[in-house]
C-alpha cells in the first residue's frame, strides 16, 4: 500500500512552484476554502469498496456512530510545530501514519443484519488541506471551521488534516470521528506524523479490539434506569451561526503550583480545572446559578485495558454536578470531582459502564432513540476533556512540537461550554469551544486557578 496521503484542497497557489505535483493533488474542489461535503462524498463513493471487514464495531463505538448522525461528534486537535516541511514531505509523513494505524483506513458500513463494521480501504488517502501563510487566517478560526464540518458518514477514511503553513513552521489540525479514536489517539497520531517528518520509519500496529472486549473484570450489572436530576437538554442548533474557538496557555509556574497543591490536598489538577470552570461559569452566566453545574469528564482507559499508543476509542465519559460558590471551597469541589471519577478508573467500574453500553445497543436503537437518550444521559452545561500530562517527545530532528491544543469537541446541546486541556512542555493548554461562548471564560478560569494556587 503506497501513496495514501493526497492534497485534496489547496487554498492558494503553489508556494514552491513544484510542477511535479499534479493538478489534482492541489485541488479536487477548485481551490475552495472549505471542504465540499457533496463533492467529497461523490469522490469517495466512486471508489470501489472491498469485502475487507476488519471487525464489527463495539457497543461504545456503535453509540458514537449513531449519535454522530444526530449531532456531529468528531473532534479536532491543533499542534503548533516549528520547522520547515515541503508539501511533498507532509504527504509522505501522513501516509506513513495512516499505514501505522489500521483505523485511519476505514469506513463504517451497516448491513441489514448485525452491528455495523469497520471496512478497510487500502487506497483512499487521508484528505489533506493546505492553507498558505498569505491567507492570514488564525488556527483557531480554521479549527472552528473544522468543528463545524462533520466527518462524512458514507466515506473513508474517518479523519482529515489541515496544515496552516507559515514561515518557520506550521499548525496541523487533525479532525477525527469519535468511533475510531479519542483525544489521546490524536496526540499519538500527531507524534507519529512528526516522527515520519524527521525521517524515522513507523512500524504498523495491529488492529485494536473494542474496548469492551479488553476489560478483564467480571461483567458488571446492567445499569438501572436513573431518575432525571434535571430536565433534558435541548439539541444544539447549528443553523444560527458557527462555533467559536479560543485558546489560553497557563504559565509553567501556575501549572506547577496547581500540580503541587493538588497533591498536598488530596485532589487532582483535573478536579481543579472542573472547579474553576464551574466557578467561572457561575460568575459569568446567571443560568449556571439555577442548579449545580453538570460537567462531563471523559476518562482515559488505556492503562486499565493494556493499551499504549494505538489509535482507538478508549474512554468513558461520566458527568457530575458541582456548585462552586466561593474560592475558599474550590479545592473541596476538586476533591469531590476526584471521588466522582474514581469508579471509572477501576476495572469493575469500567465493566459496569460497558455493561450499560451493551444494554443500550442490544435494543438496536435508531438515531432518534439515541438522540433522546443522549439529551437526558449526556445533558451538561460544560465538559472538561483533559488529556493530562502528555508524555511525548517534543523534538523530532529539525521539527519541534511547541504546543498542543484540544480536543475541540461538542456534545451537541444548547449552551454547552466545552474545555479541552492538555499539558505539554510544562504548561496547561486550555481550549474553549462553543456555539454560544461565555465571554472571558478562559481568563476568568485562569484568575480562579491563580487564586487556588496561592
Q: What is the CATH number of the domain that holds 126?
A: 3.30.559.10
Final residue of a domain: which of 190, 209, 228? 209
Q: Is 283 part of any domain?
A: yes
**CATH code, domain with 359:** 3.30.559.30
Q: Is pLDDT at 132 greater than 50 in this prediction?
A: yes
Listed residues 186, 209, 232: the one ending a domain: 209
CA angle, residues 157, 175, 68, in degrees to nearest 5: 75
Other C-beta atoms lying within 10 Å of the C-beta of residue 49 = 13
In a domain, 286, yes or no: yes
Please check whether residues 138 and 260 belong to one and the same domain: no
Is 203 in the same domain as 260?
A: no
* Predicted pLDDT of residue 14: 40
Domain count, the chain: 2
Do 132 and 204 fall within a single domain?
Answer: yes
Residue 23, pLDDT score = 32
The sheet with strand 127-131 has its strands ordered as 6-10, 127-131, 159-166, 169-176, 75-82, 399-408, 395-396
Give pLDDT tens digits for 404-453.
999 999 998 889 999 999 999 999 999 999 999 999 999 999 999 999 99
Same domain assignment for residues 191 and 275: no
Residues 196 and 255 in one domain: no
Same domain, yes or no, for 99 and 187?
yes
Are residues 296 and 151 part of one domain?
no
51: confidence class by pLDDT, cuts 50, 70, 90? low
Same-domain pairing of 126 and 261: no
Same domain (yes/no): 201, 261: no
Please check whether residues 248 and 194 belong to one and the same domain.
no
pLDDT of residue 58: 95
Say what the pTM is: 0.88
Greatest C-alpha distance within the chain: 64
CA torsion, ordered 371, 374, 379, 385, to nearest 10 deg: -120
Q: Where do runs of H (alpha helix) occur along 220-268?
A: 252-264
340 and 443: one domain?
yes
Count of beta carbons in the 10 Å neighbourhood of residue 391: 8
Given 184, 209, 234, the domain boundary residue is: 209
Q: Are residues 283 and 426 in the same domain?
A: yes
Tens digit of pLDDT for each residue in 244-274? Answer: 999 999 999 999 999 999 999 999 999 999 9
Q: Which domain holds residue 179?
A: 6-209
Amino acid at each position: 500500500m503506497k501513496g495514501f496521503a493526497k492534497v485534496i484542497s489547496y487554498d492558494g497557489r503553489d508556494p514552491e512552484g513544484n510542477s511535479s505535483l499534479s493538478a489534482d493533488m492541489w485541488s479536487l474542489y477548485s481551490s475552495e476554502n472549505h471542504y465540499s461535503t457533496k463533492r467529497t462524498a461523490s469522490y469517495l463513493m466512486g471508489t470501489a469498496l472491498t469485502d475487507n471487514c476488519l471487525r464489527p464495531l463495539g457497543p461504545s463505538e456503535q453509540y458514537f456512530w449513531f449519535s454522530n448522525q444526530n449531532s456531529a461528534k468528531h473532534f479536532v486537535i491543533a499542534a503548533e510545530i516549528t520547522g520547515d516541511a515541503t508539501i511533498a514531505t507532509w504527504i509522505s509523513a501522513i501516509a506513513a501514519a495512516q499505514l501505522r494505524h489500521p483505523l485511519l483506513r476505514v469506513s463504517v458500513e451497516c448491513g441489514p443484519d448485525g452491528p455495523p463494521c469497520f471496512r478497510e480501504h487500502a487506497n483512499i488517502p487521508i484528505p489533506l488541506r493546505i492553507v498558505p501563510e498569505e491567507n492570514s487566517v488564525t488556527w483557531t478560526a480554521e479549527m472552528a471551521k473544522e468543528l463545524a464540518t462533520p466527518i462524512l458518514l458514507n466515506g473513508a477514511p474517518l479523519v482529515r488534516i489541515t496544515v496552516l503553513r507559515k514561515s518557520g513552521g506550521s499548525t496541523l489540525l487533525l479532525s477525527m470521528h469519535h468511533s475510531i479514536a479519542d483525544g489521546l489517539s490524536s496526540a499519538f497520531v500527531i507524534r507519529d506524523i512528526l516522527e515520519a517528518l524527521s525521517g524515522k520509519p513507523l512500524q504498523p500496529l495491529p488492529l485494536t479490539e473494542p474496548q469492551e472486549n479488553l476489560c478483564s473484570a467480571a461483567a458488571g450489572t446492567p445499569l438501572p434506569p436513573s431518575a432525571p436530576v434535571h430536565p433534558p437538554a435541548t439539541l444544539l442548533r447549528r443553523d444560527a451561526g458557527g462555533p467559536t474557538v479560543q485558546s489560553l496557555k497557563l504559565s509553567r509556574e501556575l501549572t506547577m503550583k496547581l500540580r503541587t497543591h493538588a497533591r498536598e490536598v488530596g485532589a487532582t489538577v483535573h478536579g481543579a480545572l472542573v472547579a474553576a470552570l464551574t466557578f467561572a461559569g457561575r460568575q459569568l452566566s446567571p443560568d449556571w446559578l439555577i442548579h449545580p453545574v453538570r460537567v462531563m469528564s471523559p476518562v482515559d482507559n488505556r492503562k486499565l485495558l493494556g493499551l499504549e499508543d494505538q489509535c482507538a476509542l478508549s474512554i468513558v465519559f461520566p458527568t457530575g454536578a458541582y456548585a462552586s460558590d466561593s474560592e475558599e471551597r474550590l479545592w473541596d469541589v476538586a476533591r469531590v470531582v476526584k471521588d466522582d471519577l474514581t469508579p471509572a478508573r477501576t476495572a469493575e467500574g469500567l465493566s459496569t459502564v460497558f455493561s450499560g453500553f451493551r444494554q443500550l445497543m442490544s435494543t438496536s436503537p435508531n438515531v432518534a432513540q439515541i438522540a433522546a437518550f443522549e439529551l437526558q444521559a449526556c445533558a451538561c452545561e460544560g465538559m472538561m476533556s483533559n488529556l493530562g500530562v502528555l508524555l511525548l517527545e517534543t523534538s523530532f530532528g529539525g521539527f519541534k512540537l511547541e504546543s498542543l491544543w484540544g480536543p475541540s469537541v461538542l456534545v451537541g446541546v444548547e449552551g454547552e461550554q466545552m474545555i479541552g486541556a492538555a499539558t505539554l512542555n510544562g504548561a496547561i493548554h486550555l481550549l474553549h469551544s462553543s456555539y454560544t461562548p461565555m465571554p472571558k471564560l478562559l481568563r476568568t478560569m485562569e484568575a480562579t486557578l491563580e487564586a487556588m494556587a496561592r
